[in-house]
Amino acid sequence: MRQPAIPFVRAALCAAACLVTLGSAQAQESSDQNVPAATARQQAMEISRGDPSRWFREDATAAARLRTLHKEIAAGLQEAQGNCRRMPAAERAACNKEARAIYQQEMAGAKAQVMAER
């Protein structure tokens, strides 16, 4: 079995780090329950066809790596927000606020991260 390209491993790590950063009291285990239904259907359809070829293509340029990183960061936010929706109402606003702050911090540092990888 072929292994996914590094950017997709980074996405999984980014999502895990986002969940850890939310704090143990707020964070929930990452699972398909945290993914919106439409996204889960799309993923299931793609998985049924086997590993997508895009998993095995490296981003050739800094701009492509930055686009991928932005996509990964946005996916981490989406997953964190899914976790927040499952929390008690009293904790939900703080969870969403922290998730957005992490998103903004990661987006602000994305360009520097890509340039450091060169």
SS3 85: helix
- Measured over all CA atoms, what is the biggest interatomic distance in the chain, rounded to whole angstroms? 45
- The answer to whether residue 94 sits within a structural domain is yes
Per-residue pLDDT of 80-118, as tens digits, reads 999 999 999 999 999 999 999 999 999 999 999 999 987
- What lies within 8 Å, CB to CB, of 58 at 6+ separation is 5, 6, 7
How far, in Å, CA of 40 to CA of 44, rounded?
6
Domain count of the fold of the chain: 1
pLDDT number for residue 32:
64
- The answer to whether residue 40 sits within a structural domain is yes
Confidence bin at 1 (pLDDT 50/70/90): very low
- The answer to whether residue 1 sits within a structural domain is no
Q: The pTM is what?
A: 0.62
- The answer to whether residue 90 sits within a structural domain is yes
Domain of 23 in residue numbering reads as 6-116
pLDDT number for residue 65:
92
Convert 57-88 to b/e letters by CB count within 10 Å (16 or more is b). eebeeeeebbebbeebbebbbbbbbbbbeebe
